[in-house]
Amino acid sequence: MLPNILKKNVAIFITYQIRIWNRNIEAAEKLVTLLISENIKAEVSKSVQEAARDADIINTCTGASTPILKADWVKAGAHINSVGAPRPDFHEIEEDLVRKGIIYTDSRESAENEAGDVIKAGVPVFAEIGEVLLGSKPANKNSLTIYKSLGLAVQDAVTARLVYNMLYENNPL
Ligand SMILES: NC(=O)C1=CN([C@@H]2O[C@H](COP(=O)(O)OP(=O)(O)OC[C@H]3O[C@@H](n4cnc5c(N)ncnc54)[C@H](OP(=O)(O)O)[C@@H]3O)[C@@H](O)[C@H]2O)C=CC1
Ligand SMILES: O=C([O-])C1=[NH+]CCC1
């Protein structure tokens, strides 16, 4: 999943340097090689701290059950996209870091019931992404912001429909 997220980031931001950390360095090297082969500037970091240092955007996408990203490693004004820890008993972001951030999510109900990091920190969700897109809630660009992604069933349904159409309607067998 992470390669696709990174490519989307690169499509949006013109200047960038991507640093990749994985607990298994060979996996990080493999991803960096893939990104470089697609002309995306990427390099391996030996630690999460090194990867996060001075980063404007941090993407966490792990199956970790204890936090891997700590508050002291993240600069003021950074934005974090947290994709992992989608269960109440899973964590990938340190509690203090979640408390420092303004929390955005795809579904408030899901975040309050499923996102371990949000539940443990006991912080309110500031806005759903839909509210930001509609202009009813601000993006707070200069603050530390955290987008807690959990996925919406409608995304799966629409994707399944697109795949079905490609297979059976646009390209009938
Ligand atoms: N928000 C959303 O919409 C969605 C969220 N998810 C969640 O995102 C996460 C990643 O999913 P996906 O990419 O499919 O999973 P993968 O199994 O492909 O990748 C998991 C990654 O997490 C790493 N990892 C696992 N445990 C730890 C740990 N304790 N510390 C550090 N790194 C760890 C793995 O490292 P290694 O390579 O060493 O094994 C691997 O790089 C999962 O938690 C999944 O449930 C999934 C789909 C949608
Ligand atoms: O596939 C998955 O592991 C998940 N999808 C949404 C939350 C977790």
Same domain, 30 and 68: no
Q: How many CA atoms lie within 13 A of 86 on its CB side?
A: 14
Same domain, 145 and 61: yes
Overall number of domains in the chain: 2
- Domain span at 37: 1-46
Same domain, 42 and 85: no
CATH number of the domain bearing residue 75: 3.40.50.720
Same domain, 68 and 137: yes
CA dist., res. 149 & res. 146, Å (int): 9
CA dist., res. 70 & res. 47, Å (int): 12
Ligand 2 binding pocket mutation candidate from 1, 83, 150, 156 (most atoms within 8 A of CB): 150
Residue 105 lies in a domain: yes
**Residuewise pLDDT in 10s, the chain (173 residues):** 777 776 766 666 556 899 999 999 999 999 999 999 998 999 999 999 999 999 999 999 999 999 999 999 999 999 999 999 999 999 999 999 999 999 999 999 999 999 999 999 999 999 999 999 999 999 999 999 999 999 999 999 999 999 998 888 876 54
Q: What residues contact 165, with CB distance under 8 A and at least 6 apart?
A: none
CB contact burial 89-116 (16+ within 10 A = b; e otherwise)? ebbbbbbebbebbbbbbbbbebbeebbb
Same domain, 61 and 39: no
Distance 93 CA to ligand 1 centre (A): 13
Residue among 136, 83, 88 at smallest CA distance from 105:
83
Residue 159 lies in a domain: yes
Residue 27 lies in a domain: yes
Whole-complex ipTM: 0.95
Ligand showing the shortest atom-to-Cα distance for residue 105: 1
CA dist., res. 172 & res. 150, Å (int): 33
Residue among 50, 100, 98 at smallest CA distance from 73:
50
**16 burial type by CB count under 10 A (0-12 exposed, 13-18 middle, 19+ buried):** middle
Residue 89 lies in a domain: yes
Same domain, 71 and 103: yes
Residue 51 lies in a domain: no
Compute φ and ψ for 148, nearest 5 degrees: -95, 105
pTM: 0.91
Same domain, 22 and 69: no
β partners of residue 104: 127, 147
Distance 136 CA to ligand 2 centre (A): 28
